[in-house]
Structure 1
Amino acid sequence: MGFELLAATGVLALLTMVPGPDMAIVTRRAVAAGRRDGLLTVGGIVGGLLVWGVLAVAGLAAVLAASAVAYTVVKLVGAAYLVFLGAQALWRTRRGGAAAPVDAPPPAGNPWRTGLVGNLLNPKIAVFYTGLLPTLAPSGLSPHTGMALLVLVHAALTVVWLSGYVLLLAGARSFFARPAVRGAMERVTGVVLIGFGVKVATAAS
């Protein structure tokens, strides 16, 4: 069981490090509002993972993964949310002129809630937890126990990876505080979020 758990952790670590909407949301909050907002956003994302994990272990996430209509609804709502966040970032740079001012107000909305909602509106997590996790669960444990363990491992890896990323951004805070750099980062993350939104909306179920 030890080797199987180690192998599963390796797979989950690789998937965690792949850039996606969560990292884009964290980047925007950390660059625009600082370390505290970035870490709170990470907390919301992990909270979303745990909710999906509970639903997956209970079998409810499988219903969403198997229902084309439910999946499409969540997918489109999630895509709209990502586009909204991206448009909000671009609007902030427009209001600030060529570059966002250093003393510009932080992005609107509670950072923890932003991370939570962004993650909960990602139906790919439901598919991931119901499709991949069962195949990675250690054979020495019951299916429910194995999946619950891997959900906790995935949540822990996400905390470590995204928190480290936030601290890295915070360490370069003086660089990102420059008006030109901050404005450029807002525009880049805004475009990336809108791109992820379009990708989610057009992805096959």
Structure 2
Amino acid sequence: MEAATSTDSETAVDRPFMGDVDLTELLDLLVDEAAGSLALLSDFHLADAADEDVIEHDRPTWKDVQIVFRLGFSIKGRVRMGLMTMPLAEALTMSGSLLMLPRDEVAQNRQKAAPDEGDKEAIMEAGNLIAGAFDAVLSKRIHGTVEVKFFGCQGLAPGDMPWISAFEAEPLGIRRHTASFSNFDSFEVVLVIPV
């Protein structure tokens, strides 16, 4: 009887979740898709990555209030969560644009302490669009059945970690980008994906 090779003995848990793909290439692809989707809805601009991509085994934290777009990634029966974030003021800017508010009202919208029902609907619409774009591009990029679904938003207080279902310190690929909406200061958008 032949000895088992490393690939024979490898379990699904041992293999990288996204398979043998280059993390930077994958994040480039997804960030471009997210930027394209958001640009369809609002005057969104994406600059270069703020830092090098990293792999962490813990969820990131932020110094200011964030809106977290929760994304479920399903590959060959395995499901893990990822997310994309932006500061509250920027999520409110985006929702104001989606609601076609005049520019001065969009500026006022940025001052809210929390989104109202109209804002929440607009933000959820953006989340669904991003998940749909990710689903379409990953289905072409990664072999096997890939699905990405939007699992709603989470408001995140400074210093808090985003909630990830059944998270057990699995590796997460993290990309930080500088972005902006026209006529407003730049901000950081963060994409976190299971790897």
Structure 2 length-normalised TM: 0.34
Structure 1 length-normalised TM: 0.33
Greater share of strand residues, 1 or 2?
Answer: 2
Greater share of helix residues, 1 or 2?
Answer: 1
Higher relative contact order (Cα pairs below 8 Å, separated by 6+ residues): 1
